[in-house]
Structure formats: C-alpha cells, structure tokens
Chain A
Amino acid sequence: MKKILVLILLTILIFSACEKDDFCIQNPITPNLVLRFYDANDRETLKPVTSFYVWAEGKDTIFNNISKDSIYIPLNSLSTETIYNFSTDNIVNQFTINYTPKEEYVSRSCGFKIIFNEVTFTSDTTWITDFTPETLTTIDHQTTAHVQIFH
C-alpha cells in the first residue's frame, strides 16, 4: 500500500513535468487583416487580382506581382492608422484602416497580443469599386475574412 502510494506520487511527478506553456504554438497571436477579392459584377464569386502589388505607405512591398483572391496584411500596432497601397496593372488604390490598438494577455509563452478595436476602412476607389463592411467593432482573430473587396 505504501509502496503504491509512493509509486503514484512519482508517476504524477514524472508525467506532469512537461508543460504546454513552454512554447507558443498559437500562430498568429496578433491577428492580421484578411481581405477577399470578389467580382464587382457577380458579387458572390471570388476574382483574383492580377499583377498585384501591396505595400504600406512609406514601406517596402509585402506582395510582389502576385495573383490572388485573398490576402492577409499586418496592421501597425504602434499607430492608429495604417495606409496600404494596392496596385494592379499600375493603378494604385489607397486603402486606409483606422483603429484603436489594445494589448490583450494570452499566455506565458505567447505573451500579449494586439487586438484592434473600432476599425473603420476607407478607400479612394480607383480600381476597387466597393467594399464591405465599412466598420468593424473588433479584429481579434484571423479565421475568417474581415473585408470583402469588389473590383
């Protein structure tokens, strides 16, 4: 009986020694902005943007000459505004995102993430004809698209 007790205690010690909070396995922690591109005439069908370049104002490009119908882009957590330039066939469309960043604790290994509250989108509508929605209460995940863009 005593030996069994000791054995149980040791087993608990050995098997619970490895903990899942040593490594951050959640990815991504801070959500990116997910955009999907649809056909302006047939608003249910996805339409890829060809020779697509994406860069933030005053920064290097993050997408170079791609053809995709959905992208995700990071938002600047140090500012309340991120201005992106979307260029297709050398026509630039500026897309501005305004928000309030907020730190939110996740876990020991992952630290704090940034969530974006009170998000508003504006576009200078060159090749993007329309988009929806214009405001979002929060961006706290990246599992579904945040904005649908029609072109």
Chain B
Amino acid sequence: MFKYFISIFFFFAVVDGFSQEQKTVANETEKDSIIYKSPYGIRIGIDISKPILSNINSGYSGFEIIGDYRITKRFFVAAELGYEEKTSDEDYTNSTSKGSYVRLGFNYNVYENWLDMNNEILLGYRYGFSLFDQTLNSFTPNVNNTYFPANSIDTPITASNLNAHWSEFLFGFKVETFKNFFVSASVSYKVLMSAKEPDNFKTLFSPGFNRIFESNTGFGFNYTISYLIPFKKK
C-alpha cells in the first residue's frame, strides 16, 4: 500500500496552462491611406516693399533678399540680407544712414494645413547685425529763443563703421499662391542689444532695424515674394 503512496500524490499536482493564442483586435478602422506629403527645400525671394518705397520716398532706398530652409515639419531656418539708405529729417537735425545688414533666425509655423495646402502662420525670431555709416548733414542748435537765433550748421559730419546688434520677434503669414510660389507679409518688433554710436550724436536709423526709438526698440514690416526649390517631399 505504502508502495503507491507517493505516486497517489501526483494526482493532486496542478499544472496551469493555456494553449490559446491572444486574440488581436482586428476590427479597428484603418487609417486613410492617402498621406499628403509636403515639400522640403530652399526658398528664396525678395522684399518687394523696399523697391516700391524707394520709388515713392526720396529719402529712402533699400533692397532685401530673403531665404529660408525647412528643417522639420514646423521649423524653418531663415535669413535676410539687405542694403538700406535713409535720410532722417527731424526738427533740428538731418542725417543719413546707409549700410548693409543681415538677419538670421528661424520661423515656426503654427498653422495646421489642410490636405496638401502649404501655408504658414509664422512666429519667428531673428538676430540682426548691421554695418553702416551715418552722416549728420545739417543741424540747427536748439537755442529756443528768437533774441539770439542760431544758424543752421551745414558742414556734414560722417561717422563711419558704426554697427548695431538686435533681437527681433516677428509674426506673419505665408501663402502659396501658385505652385511653389509664396507671398508673405510680416511685422516685427525689434530690441536693440548694442550699437556703436557716433560721437556727440546718436544713431537714429540703422539699416535693417529702421528707426531706433528712444527706448532702443523698433518696428519692421516685410512684404515678400519667394520661390521654393523643392529638394524632397515627406
């Protein structure tokens, strides 16, 4: 009897097992198989507001080339390069600034495109740098009396190799009007970081920055047309 005692214990041994494979959920709706790819590439263009302003305004001339390169779905590396000359005619001074500038930064597209649209509502940042000369053409000392009036001093004083660095925050739109052809408008708010000022005078206008206000800030406006050279689509 005892001979089988241990063997009887084996009847109570339990083995847990499950031979069925896990069921997959096969009924989930399948994703739309059409994926709209958007082009990646370099986009170059010009600011068309500046040549127009040069024609209208006798005290201004300017030209600007723009370019950007798409790196991710929403980020674009952007740059602007230009030349400007502007005469600031104030109550007591008349001065001309001329020189070139470069702005480097990025744009972030906050717009969610439908289908294969390729438009942008962009927020951007730029670092700007300009190199310029400023000439004080003439000035009249502000003596505020008529008893001893002051004469206008017309000897031009030129300060060369001035520079300015600034930060710029911009907001704008970019619309694809034809295939690969874009029209864009943007406004920017600029904060001067540093500037080399002329002796006994101030930089009133810096190329690329526009008028420098008393608080070292400024505003810009761009109206550009550009063409996209697509490298790839994804």
Interface residues of A (CB under 8 A from B): 2, 5-6, 9-10, 12-13, 16-17, 19-21, 24, 27-30, 32, 56, 59, 62, 74-78, 82, 103-114
A19→B147 contact, CB < 8 A: no
Q: Which residue of B lies closest to A74 (CB)?
A: B145
**B-chain residues with CB within 8 Å of residue A82 when the two chains form the complex:** 148
**A-chain residues with CB within 8 Å of residue B66 when the two chains form the complex:** none
Assuming the contacts A105-B200, A105-B201, asked whether A16 and B217 have C-beta atoms less than 8 A apart, the reply is yes
Cβ-based interface call for B195 (8 A): no
A114→B214 contact, CB < 8 A: no
State how many angstroms separate the Cβ of B142 from the closest Cβ of chain A. 4
Please report the number of residue pairs spanning A and B whose Cβ atoms sit closer than 8 angstroms.
98
CA distance A110 to B202 in the complex (A): 12
A110→B143 contact, CB < 8 A: no
A59 in complex: contacting residue of B140, B147, B219, CB < 8 Å:
B147
Those of B91-105 within 8 Å (CB) of chain A: 91-93
B147→A111 contact, CB < 8 A: no
Assuming the contacts A13-B219, A111-B91, asked whether A24 and B204 have C-beta atoms less than 8 A apart, the reply is no
B141→A103 contact, CB < 8 A: yes
Assuming the contacts A6-B171, A111-B141, asked whether A21 and B147 have C-beta atoms less than 8 A apart, the reply is no
Interface residues of B (CB under 8 A from A): 88, 90-93, 110, 123, 139-145, 147-148, 150-151, 153, 169, 171, 187, 189, 200-202, 204, 213-215, 217, 219
CA distance A76 to B171 in the complex (A): 52
A56 in complex: contacting residue of B147, B151, B215, CB < 8 Å:
B147
Assuming the contacts A19-B213, A104-B200, A105-B202, asked whether A111 and B144 have C-beta atoms less than 8 A apart, the reply is no
Q: Which residue of B lies closest to A17 (CB)?
A: B219
A19→B143 contact, CB < 8 A: no
Assuming the contacts A5-B123, A13-B189, asked whether A75 and B91 have C-beta atoms less than 8 A apart, the reply is no
**A-chain residues with CB within 8 Å of residue B148 when the two chains form the complex:** 56, 74-78, 82
**B-chain residues with CB within 8 Å of residue A103 when the two chains form the complex:** 139, 141, 153, 200
Q: Which residue of A lies closest to B197 (CB)?
A: A105
Assuming the contacts A9-B171, A77-B141, asked whether A112 and B147 have C-beta atoms less than 8 A apart, the reply is no
**A-chain residues with CB within 8 Å of residue B217 when the two chains form the complex:** 16
CA distance A109 to B147 in the complex (A): 22
State how many angstroms separate the Cβ of B45 from the closest Cβ of chain A. 23
Q: Which residue of B lies closest to A60 (CB)?
A: B147
State how many angstroms separate the Cβ of A14 from the closest Cβ of chain B. 11
| Residue contacts A-B, CB under 8 angstroms, 18 given | A2-B110, A5-B123, A6-B123, A12-B189, A13-B189, A17-B219, A19-B213, A21-B214, A77-B148, A82-B148, A103-B153, A107-B202, A108-B88, A108-B93, A109-B90, A111-B142, A112-B140, A113-B142
Assuming the contacts A9-B171, A103-B200, A105-B202, asked whether A77 and B143 have C-beta atoms less than 8 A apart, the reply is yes
**B-chain residues with CB within 8 Å of residue A74 when the two chains form the complex:** 143, 145, 147-148
B189→A24 contact, CB < 8 A: no
A112 in complex: contacting residue of B88, B123, B142, CB < 8 Å:
B142
CA distance A113 to B140 in the complex (A): 9
B147→A62 contact, CB < 8 A: yes
CA distance A77 to B145 in the complex (A): 11
B150 in complex: contacting residue of A5, A24, A78, A107, CB < 8 Å:
A78
A108→B142 contact, CB < 8 A: no
**A-chain residues with CB within 8 Å of residue B143 when the two chains form the complex:** 29-30, 74, 77, 113-114
Q: Which residue of B lies closest to A111 (CB)?
A: B92
B201→A24 contact, CB < 8 A: no
